[in-house]
Chain A
């Protein structure tokens, strides 16, 4: 089926929705809403709304649509590309849509699922799943919901939501509209792979319920959306191929694709997701291992060897460059407890961090494949750290975040002297077989220009984050040129310019590296079909000057 009908939400009273009017007032009392983790600054906008229900949201959207007022949507504001930073019109914060609505077993797939409103945070969801307590569901009068909760609690297994996009304060809906990924994408794929249904409000305040597996593009590559007035909008799916890597660049498109995939990763430019159904997976015991190595190149070599070893099933495969380890060593010199781990071995010049299944109570542990592959790269498991208790897994995870967090704090200090500088963090992924080539380019060019840089991240997906820290404006200019060169190279190798952070407002100029003007035009037509007035998340994905 490629035709779908939108519905009217229960009518809410626009006049009763909490609204802050006037940029001065918003600036003075709601300054947190002026930016996100990208630190992009908002341009003056007029309204800040806090709808408490879908009905209120629908009322706001219908009214703003009628008045042609652009609307930007904010979830937890943890994005890195300024997607929710308003540039005009109204900002609508979805923070009050924060309830888990059901936990249920889907009979067809035999999987446990959670249905939740958009602003449930990933951290809270994880906490609720761990203890199987869902405030709000306990007193739900719906007998089906109550039975689902009882059944879930009676299931002796523990379950979790696999996508782990590092920033656990992110909202579930935000992670869906950005198709967030992270370390565990290595094994479990991006968020898209776990979304089973969404409710999405369109520009005029009507909504679509889209379960996965129901609405597919016609053989001619089209969807038709009928609104309650009987007016049809036809969406023509772009015909560009997807890169052979993880990607958060532009709209997803594929022949006879599922309609749900068009909205996942669309960064709120086609509609606003208010509720999602996501699948859960049985939780297993894991061991985290940080393997210290002699060089960055040995780390790259080991990552490729581990990936090629079919007997190893890793949850994630991450990288620390030698200079990133030095950064942490410096912290340890000042205060040994800051990093939360023992002293990093003096001879470690690079490291690989990975996680795999582990039974601490097994009589014998069989890890011959791991020992072999590590030995084949000239490394030894004796030079590793391992942990499997939950407190250990937690501190290893904190250690993983230490590098980017330290970089951000260094840069915040530096900005005091050079307000114009900012971090240049690459987010490019390349297809298998090109990791070494890309790594050599990163390292050689950063060293040639004598830049301060550190590298870390998702080496298992050929997706290393290179962070350049400008020390002055010359460094910034050199770094920006380098960034563009890296983006071009990633695309030339068949990769993605933005593998996980998305495009938002900050990276819209890179869209043209990956797509031809004709392909960008196809994307714009999709946007025009669903949002003819161009009022949803203006300036996101599409650069302002070519915005429809």
Chain B
């Protein structure tokens, strides 16, 4: 049985600063990590692998060559192979072009997949679109917001506990299917140093644009329906009022008046 886990490399912190002059993110000194929701997806895949025989896990990412680092992390944590989908032609892809490329790369590299697990969203873009789009493109059943992922004993269905507004629902889908994951391990796994060493011996395949049966006009920026025109931080919230250099009595009077005016008193 083959499980594909789609992963993304993201900046380590969510509060990256925006350069006010250019509107772009200031990336200096910011390290990259495996997107936490993708790590949840991988965690579910590893649990299934521990519970069932003959499961192999392929971790796939689309990104620049340095995105290889997140595949290494996946290999350390239990993935059996990594697939790096990289080409300058993929640059500037929006969620649709990304999903189209990833779906085709999965079809090419793991044509006999049974289950695709993805994080519900990436902590940098926060769109939560790529997973569902891949499912649509591949014509798969999809279950979103998964917090527990199990297989039926026949391995023909996936059973997912799904977060919904009022609690949880348990839903099943026939395989092949795609599940987006919103929770996983409580605490990030820590690979052993043996795992770290062995990860370097596992296969990482590279897939370039010419290996994918998609016309160039549908890749990267060219194939994107949306474009980022401007990036800017939300306007700062109104700052607090600070009373200083006042006599204690005067300051107390000011605070009293303020509370009275706002009807707190």
Contact flag A342-B31 (CB < 8 Å), given A362-B200, A386-B192, A391-B12? no
Once the chains are docked, how many angstroms separate the CA of A343 from the CA of B28? 34
One digit per residue, 1 when the CB lies within 8 angstroms of any chain A CB and 0 when it does not, for chain B 35-52 equals 000000000000000000
Q: Which of B12, B31, B33, B188 gathers most chain A CB within 10 Å? A: B188
Contact digits for A122-137, partner B, Cβ 8 Å, 1 yes 0 no: 0000000011000000
A342: chain B residues within 8 A (beta carbon): 185, 187-190
Contact A287 B200 (CB under 8 A): no
- Of the listed stretches A98-106, A376-384, A436-444, chain B binds A376-384
Q: What residues on B are CB-neighbors of A419 within 8 Å? A: none
Minimal Cβ-Cβ distance residue in A for B201: A364
Q: Let me know if B7 is at the binding interface, CB within 8 A.
A: no
In Å, the complex CA distance between A135 and B73 comes to: 36
Digitize A245-274: 1 where CB-to-B-CB distance is under 8 Å, 0 elsewhere.
000000000000000000000000000000
Q: How many residues of B contact A (CB 8 A)?
A: 22
Residues of B within 8 A of A131 (CB): 28-29
Q: Secondary structure of the B side of the interface?
A: loop
Q: Does A341 contact B (CB under 8 A)?
A: yes
Q: Is the CB of A287 within 8 A of B191?
A: no
Q: Say yes or no for B186: interface residue by CB 8 A criterion.
A: yes
Residue on B with the closest CB to A339? B187
Interface residues of B in 193-237 (CB under 8 A from A): 193-197, 200
- Any chain A CB within 8 A of the CB of B74? no
Given contacts A365-B200, A367-B197, contact A385 B192 (CB under 8 A): yes
- Distance between Cα atoms of A502 and B12 in the complex (Å): 38
State whether the Cβ of B69 lies closer than 8 Å to any Cβ in chain A. yes
Question: Which residues of chain B have C-beta atoms less than 8 A from A392's C-beta?
Answer: 190
What CA separation (Å) do A130 and B30 show in the bound complex? 10
Given A337-B186, A337-B187, A362-B200, check contact A390 B31 (CB 8 Å): yes
**In the assembled complex, B72 has its CB within 8 A of some CB on chain A:** yes
Does the CB pair A341–B187 fall under 8 Å? yes
Is there an interface contact between B190 and A360, defined as CB atoms closer than 8 Å?
A: no
A289 at the A/B interface (Cβ < 8 Å)?
Answer: yes
- Contact A389:B190 (CB < 8 A) given known A360-B69, A360-B72, A362-B200: no
The number of chain A residues touching the other chain, given as a range, is 20 to 34
Smallest Cβ-Cβ distance to A386: which chain B residue: B193
Residues of chain B within 8 A (CB-CB) of A365 are 196-197, 200
Q: Which of B28, B185, B195 has the most CB of A within 10 A?
A: B195
Give the nearest-CB partner of B189 in chain A.
A342
Set B33, B186, B191: member contacting A391, Cβ < 8 A:
B33
Chain A residues contacting B192 (CB-CB under 8 Å) are 381-386
Judge if A336 is at the interface, Cβ distance under 8 Å. yes
Q: Which of A202-247 contact B (CB under 8 A)?
A: none
The answer to whether A386 and B195 have CB atoms under 8 Å apart is yes
The verdict on A341 contacting B186 (CB below 8 Å), with A131-B28, A131-B29, A365-B200 known, is no
* Chain A residues within 8 Å of B31, by CB: 389-391
Q: Is A340 an interface residue when CB atoms closer than 8 A count as contact?
A: yes
Which A residues form the contact surface with B (CB < 8 A)?
130-131, 287, 289, 291, 336-337, 339-342, 360-365, 367, 370, 380-392, 395
Q: List the interface of chain B (C-beta within 8 A of A).
A: 12, 28-29, 31, 33, 69, 72-73, 185-197, 200
A-B pairs, top 10 by smallest CB distance, nearest first, are A385-B190, A386-B193, A381-B194, A384-B192, A382-B194, A381-B193, A384-B193, A386-B196, A336-B186, A131-B29
